[in-house]
Amino acid sequence: MRKFTIKATAAKPAIVPYQKELNDEQRAVVMAGKGPLLVIAGAGSGKTRTVTYRVTRLIEAGVNPSRILLVTFTNRAAREMVGRVETLLKQEVRRVWGGTFHSIGNRILRRHAASLGYESNFTILDAEDSKDLVDACVEEAAIDTKARRFPKGEVLREMFSLATNTDTPLAQLIVAKYPQFELLTAPIERVDRLYQARKLDRNAMDYDDLLVNWKRLLIEKPDIAAVYQEQFEYILVDEYQDTNKLQAEIIDLLAHRHRNLMVVGDDAQSIFGWRGAHFANIYEFKDRYPDAQVFKLESNYRSTPEILMLANAAVGMNKRQFPKYLQAMRASRNFTPALVPLRDVEQQASFVAARILELRDEGTPLDEIAVLYRSHFHSLELQLELTRRGIPYDIRSGVRFFEQAHIKDVTSYLRLLINPRDELAWKRVLKLIPKVGNATAARVWERLAAAAEPLALVRADEFAKALPKGVSGGWQEFAALIAALLDAANQPAKQIELVLQHGYLEYLQANYENAEAREEDLRQLANYALRFETTEQLLSELALINTERFGAPGATVGQDVEEGADEDEHVVLSSVHQAKGLEWRILFLIWAADGRFPSARSLRDIEGEEEERRLFYVALTRAQDELYVCFPLLESDRSRQSIVQRPSRFVTEVPRELFEIWNVDEELAALEEPDLASLPTPKLLN
């Protein structure tokens, strides 16, 4: 057999001024030769620019664009990078394979679906489709969901997805992540088998199948794998620290032939372990590719030197990391990050709101200011304070706290206690009873509405006997809850706890994959309710968030995402996870208290604490000019006792001189210069 080799296109003289456009660190990456490359790109270091110029350089050196695979975490990012390459080269390069793992997997599977038993016109199921199909499989499996609360389709779908993306056996995942369903492992596995079979029968794949079947194709069909291993001469993967185990395995299989694999990411910004991201992918890359060249991008163009010194010191406490030190390319603005101890959570909210107004008066637009927090419920008091002061804001961490479905569920119980004629509250809580749908809820409401005392009728035996047979068991528990709530009249905190104890906690676990976070929200709401003498006072205060809007007052529903104002400018409120990749001139980080940030839940093991520290680092590096780290000194527990809060261990473990401590008012004068070094060393919680 005679072999013929198609020679690469001769390289043309360089037209892109790399010397001018890139710094030394970036240029070293762009000009690197063949072989595996690991690029550790610090926050604000021009990572996207470096990847874009690397693709440009490869094409300029004669590499056929169709032999380049560029994997990004959004299709938009890939389009923007390829568009920028075209601008630099002044030529069309659309043949570059650019996109997300799922979009590229879909493209390849469309060509080879028959090899796996599918047709090329397979349907892609979105999250809602997947949930509905899982629900149908539960029905087909004839599982008695009444005998014990069985997880809903949404929870099962998330369970199956996490098992797939972390390459964990389903039974093992249930024990580790969903222990409340451990006794249901066998029927859950049966549903999973039915779900997989049904998808194949119906020529459908869900999002995870696009990865699973892509990997299957590369392993089970060597002839097909060889085609793509030969084609993709150069592979570039962006945000590599966020890849899961399955994605990394696919890339390793594709890079087997040429080994020209460049992965770009920041181990210090690996913060999505709870979602399946595998930190070991980037941390152990050198173990899989011992000959890999390692580059570091440490020149930061975003933040002031003072902010970066704090960020470097904070993340430097982690044991598992690639050591790096971000260097500021910006001049100092003579503003040291502020550490702001506040008396309590109300004063924390007041300080943030007051300082925002000062900054606006000094000329800083509101949309250049953000408030970040570890968990969504940390924004509860702040949302109320901003509303009172008429400061418009956007929520980036989900719907407004009081408009979330689980918050509205629980407050609906309290509403019907105060106003037994509240039709919307009744219908909402009735539908939380097993086997009660819209039609049954409407019929029950008609009878309650006609009664002189609806709350008394609920507890009447003759009323329960008239209900449909399947409802009776759930109704007894509901009636017992109503009686307990009435006994706890004008104790709103206790009433919220009673709702949780009488079945709502189990409802959360069965219906939401983030049940633990939603429970935390409700515990915080119960704490917040302690300050009110009556249930009516609490409900009136909560109504403030719906009536004192920045536009015309109007009704809201749990699914609404309120934009905050009619004005063009809004302060951004966001969880740190949602803020990754973004930046603001002024940044407030609230609730920087131990047990809140880091969260108590994360401190169960050293890996959890290190991911929390990386999350803290991500928060700090969102700030450009000014950074305020705030924490309340006192918090009330459910027995109305004041608990002294410690500042976050991430604050106390860095040198004291990296902060300027702000004294907010005369009540905190004694804390103007607290000796943080004298505080006890934080211990890992068991």
- Active site (catalytic) residues: 47-48, 238-239, 269, 622
Partners of 98 in the beta sheet?
A: 70
Asked if 66 and 235 touch (Cβ cutoff 8 Å), the reply is no
HEC letters along 215-227: HHHHHHCHHHHHH
HEC letters along 546-565: HHCCCCCCCCCCCCCCCCCC
H or E stretch covering 477: helix 472-487
Which residues have C-beta within 8 Å of that of residue 246, sequence separation ≥ 6? 164, 165, 167, 211, 212, 215
* Bridge-based pairing state of the strands 37-41 and 261-265: parallel
Asked if 510 and 159 touch (Cβ cutoff 8 Å), the reply is no
Instruction: Report the Cα 223 to chain-centroid distance in Å.
Output: 39
CA angle, residues 134, 135, 139, in degrees to nearest 5: 115
Which residues have C-beta within 8 Å of that of residue 56, sequence separation ≥ 6? 16, 30, 85, 88, 89
Mind giving me the DSSP string for 608-668? HHHHHHHHHHHHHTTEEEEEEEEEESEEE-TTS-EEEPPBPHHHHTS-GGG-EE---SGGG
Helix (H, G, I), strand (E, B) or coil at 270: coil
